[in-house]
Every structure is written in C-alpha cells, then in structure tokens.
A and B are shown apart, each in its own frame.
Chain A
Amino acid sequence: MANMAQAIRMALHYAETNLGVTDIFGEDVGPPLGGVFTCTQGLQTTWNSPLDERGVIGTAMGVAMAGGRPVAEIQFCDYIYNTIDLLKLAGNTLWSSNGQWNLPMVVMTPVGSGIRGSIYHSHSFDATMTHIPGWKTVMPSTPLDAYGLLLSACREQNPVMFLVPKALMRVKGDELIPGEPADDKQLSKMIDAPLGDRSKWKAQWPELGDAAIPLGKAKLVRAGTQLSVVSYGRTMPLVKTAAERLAGEGIDAEVIDLRTLWPYDWDAIAESVKKTGRVLFVNEDTEVTNFGEHLARRVTEKLFYQLLAPPKVLAGKFVPGIGLADTLEAASVPQQHDVEAAMRALASQAP
C-alpha cells in the first residue's frame, strides 16, 4: 500500500493529467529532489521557486487569477507565518471584490510533530489556519484520504489549505488507491525516484482512478456508544488505537476523523454527541484558542442538555516551541498514553 507521500504524488499526477493543474511549485519541489518529503517526484508541472515563501503564495494567487490552477508548497508550515497576510488576502479576494475574483489554488504544507523536528519543524497550523476565512482547510490521516481530498482540493474554485501531518508521511495505508498496485515494491519501483542520477528517470504512473472525497465530510472510523472522540491528522491513529485498546476495558468509543477542518461536518459531530453524551476533541496544536475549543464551544451551546459530561479538548501545551529532546516533545504534544488517559477519564464521567 502507498504511504501518504506516494498518495499525494499520485493525486498530483492525476490532477495535472486530468484536473487542469498547471503549476506544482515551491522550494525544492521540482527535480532533482521532488520535495523534501518526495511528494512531488516525477511530475510534469513541478518547478523550483526561489527561497521566498511570500513569493510562493503571491505567485500562486497570480497564477490563479490568470486562469491557471496552482498547487504551491510551503516546505514546512513553520515557515508559512511570514505569508499570513497573503493568506488573508487570498481568503478575502472574492469577498472584497464582491464576488468578482475567486482563486482556485491549493497550498500544501507539512505540519506537526513526530519527526523530532525541534522548534521549527514541528509547528502545527490548524489553529491559525482556521482563523482565516475564505479558505477550505483539509488534513488527512490516511494515504487514501490524502489522495481523495487532494483531488477535491484540485477541483475547488476556492483556496484550499492542505495540511499534511508529517509524522504520517511514511506510514502505509491499509486501503488501496484505485489503480495502485497491491505490491509495495512494485509501486516503489514505478514512482519513487532512484538515488543518484535522476536526470533520465521518468515515473511509470499506474492507471489511477478518481476517488475524490468531498470536502466537508467527516469519516466514521469506529462506531461506539459511550463517548465520541473527534480528531484529525497525526493524533487520529492514536485515537483509533486507543479506542481499540479501551474496548478491552469495556469502554466503547465512537471515533470520527474530521478530515476537513473548514467547512467541517457539524452534522457528523452532533449526531455522534447526541448518541454518546460525551465528547473529546484531540489535536496537537497549542491548546489556547485551539480549533478544538471552537468545536467544544459549539457542542456546549447547541447540545448542552444532551451532554453527560463537559466537552474536553486534548491538545498541545501552550509553550513557544517543541523542544528537540524526546522527553520535551513527548511532554508538549499528545502521546498515545495521553489520549488513552483522556478517553478513560471522560468515559467514566457522569452527572
């Protein structure tokens, strides 16, 4: 099965072949490297930009204005912060022109911890991004979802921020992408660039199918009755594993992968919370003005009388960075045992 980096690469191949994507660009996105996470190897429309994030976002906006369909990459979301006012601008261009100028553009950027990336390769961006109206924000947790969500992003008429949990980039999926060979080694031989001289190498793309996943639709990962856990990105597999383990203790958790952060699937959350009466929101961005706080507020306001316990948010500690040492990273963002402890505590809470 493909890992997420390969899934993204295949989605971009599908998008430049079938969906009119004209430019896939950013720092080290083109040959010979094809992206620091290999997500853009072997593609036809990739090119290397100057080391200038504002130029990357501004150029993407201009390409979109002139009828192109760009997919721009910011190499790590830690370096996207100097583009915030351009992101605001991309989000308000349609609105401020009273409907004249829409920007069909995708920005991809790796986010989050999990590779011992220290202070500037571990940031999350979901809390900040969901403060910027006019964008759709997506964050997959499986290769198949990454493939399907990226196809939808490349069909959008509006700006889409595609957040890639870097800790999951090398994790293989357990569902086949349509057209993907079942044998990992065969896939690797076809689409992974060789080490050394790549000047004559060309990817052998499989005949890929359209497995677009609509933006705004959550996925029910596990049905349960006692508590709802809503997550996305790196913490999603932790939640799934925790639910399976806690089932052995007699705790029956329902697990939802939000997948699209904006616009998000409120119906899926509300339906689940109405059933279980308990909800935990898990992500790894810093916990003050965290996106999970918004979700907790909405649940509290809309479903208060159907709750059996206060909505909870488990998120990253509100510290200026994630330290390099293993112990520091583990203390800063939710780990497997943190998720299990939070779920266990919530499951037993009652009025």
Chain B
Amino acid sequence: MARDAKKLKPVKEFKPLITKSDELPLDPERLRFMHETMLKARCLEERLIAMYKSGHGYFWIGGPGEEAFNVPLGMLIKKGQGPSFDFCHFHYRQSATLLAMGEEPLGAIRQMKNTATDPYSGGRNFAGHFSKKEWNIVPVTSPIEVQYSMVCGTALVQKRLGGDSISIVTGGDAGTAEGDFATCLVWASRPGQELPVLIIVTNNTWGISTPFDQVQGVERISDRGAAFGMRCKTIDGNDPISAYLELKEAFEYVRTERKPYLVEARVSRLYGHSSASGANFNTVEADCLALFEERLDAHGVRSKDEAKKLREKYTEDYAELARRAKEEPFPDGSTIWNHVFAGEPGKDPLAD
C-alpha cells in the first residue's frame, strides 16, 4: 500500500530542491556526469526488473529512487584494494554507487541472470549483492545490518595504518533497529580510539511494508550519533547537489579527523522493497531523477530532450546486454564445492 510521502515529518535544514538561483554550486561537467550516472543506474535497475518479470531471474532487489544520493557517494570514494583505499560495506541498493565508481553494468545483469560469468558471486547470490575485491567492495549480504559490525574491523586497520582511507557503511532505516547498528556506534566512538567510519543510513521510511514511524520512536536516526559524541546530520538524499556537498564535507571530516560521522539521507523507494512486493513504479514518492532533470533543464545544463535521448540509449544498451547474458551458461552443479576453503581444491568431503 502506498503511503503519502508528504506525511513525512519535514527536516528543517533541507534546502529547496529547485533553487531560484541562477548558479548551481557544481560545475556543469560534474552535474552532467551525475545526471548521466543516475540515469544509467535507473535504466539498469529497470532492466533488472524487466528481466525478473520476464522470467530471467528469480528475485530482484535494488536502489531505484536512491540515485541522487548513491551517485555522489560513489564519486567521493577512493577506490582500490587494501587498507590504503576506502572500504565499502554496502547493502543491496547500491548499483548507482558502483556505476559512479566506474563499474560496468553487465556484471549486475549477469548476477540477475545467475550466470557463471556473474563477476560478484558466480551465479550464487541475488541481484544487487555486489562484491569486488579490487575496489574493497566487501560482499553484500542479505542479513540486514551485519555490515555495521564488520565495518569496525576494516576501519580499525585503517586507523592504525594512518593515511586518509576510510570505511563506509550503508544500510536502510529499518535495519537500525538491529543491534549491529548500536555495535557500530559504540565501537566507532570508543574514547581515544575513534574509528574513521562514514556511517550512512538511507532512510526511505519503510521496512518492506512497515512504516518506520510505527516501529521506531526516534525522529531522526542521525540523532542517535549525538549520544556517542559523533558528528551527525540528516540530509536530503533526493537532491544530488546537496547530497554531494554534504557527503563531501562528511568524507573530508572522516578522512582528516579519523573519527566517525553519521549521515542519515532521506530518500525515496520507487519500485518497492523488492520483486516480492511487485516491483512496480511508485507515483507518490519524489523521483529524484525527474526532479534533477527539471533542474538541469531550467539551468541550461542538460535539456529534457537530451536527457530523453540518453534514457533511450541506455535502455536499449542494457536490453542488449541482457540479451547477451541470457545466452551465457549457468554455473555447473559440480562447482558447489569450489571456494569452501581458500587454497584447497573443491571436493565433496564425504565422497569416497
């Protein structure tokens, strides 16, 4: 059942989504990159949903509606392998972040189709469950919130190492009810041993079908950080410019101060929780992509017509990628024994 987004409590410091100013605070090239990446992410998620609906995948879950936040996030990450680079402990709505980091969309399509070529899990895991060791993207998991416990470990190694690398963790509002969220707040803020963690909660106000304000009394999730003496802020995750600037400040703080920062980003959820709830477009909640296109058009950065053509291009490109993935083989059943233990051949331990 759709809920009127207008019923959400207003957050005072949000700037208006469409500014009257003639100036946008970011250069046009960056704005066009942000828009195009948001658009690519939307087209990719819509392709994954189409694959699910046409029987080319068992389950879909992803992040349409969060692009305005997730793209700036990806733009600010220092990607690479090992503790000198940022560690990414993501949840399953992060495709736009990966695209902003430079990932090819074919991998997500292959994972949807659970082919052997799926670069993240080899056909073993759901869509949106990314894993890419070369960029420190640790495996996305279905259990909610476990990443908030693990992030403390990578951040600990980074703190000890020095430098400016940080650990980033993302999850939704509903998951903050789990103990692992409290774990993260406690472990990241131990006196004198604070950890360089950017703690992010994307608040779409839903936990599958349960409204946040029915099950949690806290008005702003970011307020929970204040009790631990950490910087915290609730931001407008539907405005990519605001999100970029707010995140930039948070990144810089964590990189230089080596202390945690809690960001709550208010976002929309445009295709429901997952395919289990139908994955149909929600016409009530704000669409960050449409709003941004309107704004870019008004400021002469990118016309609506140009945006429309880009959408058509990526829609067709990803349809072609999906056709390609559909021809690729599934993993062989005999491979189930592979990678149970590192450094050991995969074999049935009970076979004669």
Contacts and interface: CB of A to CB of B under 8 A. Distances in A.
Interface of A: 22-23, 49-50, 52, 54-55, 57-68, 70, 82, 85-86, 89, 93-102, 133-134, 136, 157-158, 263, 298, 302
B187 A93 contact: no
B124 A58 contact: no
B340 A65 contact: no
The DSSP consensus for interface residues of chain B is: loop
Nearest to A135: B341
Given A59-B156, A98-B122, 8 more contacts: A54-B149, A59-B150, A59-B187, A61-B149, A62-B152, A95-B340, A96-B125, A134-B341
Nearest to A103: B342
Given A59-B156, A66-B158, A302 B131 contact: no
Interface string B278-316: 000000000000000000000000000000000000000
Nearest to A51: B186
A57 B153 CA distance: 9
A58 B342 contact: no
A98 B131 CA distance: 9
Interface string B80-101: 0011000101000000000000
Contacts of B143: 85, 89
B339 A98 contact: yes
Contact of B186 (A55, A60, A65, A302): A55
B349 interface: yes
Contacts of A62: 87, 89, 149-157, 167
A94 B153 contact: no
Interface string B326-352: 000000000000111111000001101
A59 B152 contact: yes
B124 A302 contact: no
Interface stretch (B26-34, B133-141, B233-241): B133-141
Interface in B63-110: 82-83, 87, 89
A149 B131 CA distance: 32
Interface string B157-170: 11000000001000
B83 A67 contact: yes
Contacts of B167: 62
B120 A89 contact: no
Contacts of A55: 149, 152, 183, 186-187
B121 interface: yes
A325 to B, nearest CB: 34
Most B-side CB within 10 Å, residue of A22, A66, A94: A66
Interface string B240-280: 00000000000000000000000000000000000000000
B146 interface: yes
B153 A97 contact: no
B179 interface: yes
A85 B142 CA distance: 11
B238 to A, nearest CB: 31
A50 B340 contact: no
B352 A99 contact: no
B342 A59 contact: no
B122 A63 contact: no
Contact of B154 (A49, A66, A99): A66
A65 B156 contact: no
B180 interface: yes
Contacts of B152: 55, 58-59, 62
B149 A58 contact: yes
A57 B349 CA distance: 27
A63 B124 contact: no
B323 interface: no
B324 interface: no
Contact of B338 (A58, A66, A99, A136): A99
B230 to A, nearest CB: 15
B190 interface: yes
Interface of B: 82-83, 87, 89, 118, 120-122, 124-125, 129, 131-133, 138-139, 141, 143, 146, 148-158, 167, 179-180, 183, 186-187, 190, 338-343, 349-350, 352
B137 to A, nearest CB: 9
A96 B118 CA distance: 11
A89 to B, nearest CB: 6
Contacts of B83: 66-67
Nearest to B119: A98
Nearest to B338: A99
B352 A68 contact: no
A239 B213 CA distance: 59
B306 to A, nearest CB: 38
A67 B146 CA distance: 19
Nearest to A85: B143
Nearest to A105: B153
Given A100-B139, A134-B340, A58 B158 contact: no
Contact of B150 (A52, A61, A98, A136): A61
Nearest to B147: A58
Contacts of B187: 49-50, 52, 55, 59
B146 A89 contact: yes
Nearest to A100: B133
B121 A102 contact: no
A54 B183 contact: yes
Contacts of B148: 58
Nearest to A302: B352
A63 B157 contact: yes
Contacts of A86: 146, 149
B180 A98 contact: no
B349 A96 contact: no
20 contacts: A49-B187, A50-B187, A58-B146, A58-B148, A58-B153, A59-B149, A59-B153, A62-B87, A62-B153, A65-B138, A66-B83, A66-B154, A67-B83, A70-B153, A86-B146, A94-B342, A98-B121, A98-B338, A99-B339, A102-B343
A205 B344 CA distance: 35
Closest 3 CB pairs of A and B: A62-B153, A58-B149, A98-B122
A151 to B, nearest CB: 17
B297 to A, nearest CB: 42
Given A55-B187, A98-B122, A65 B150 contact: yes
Contacts of B132: 100
A148 B138 CA distance: 32
A64 B125 contact: no
Given A52-B183, A93-B139, A97-B131, A57 B149 contact: yes
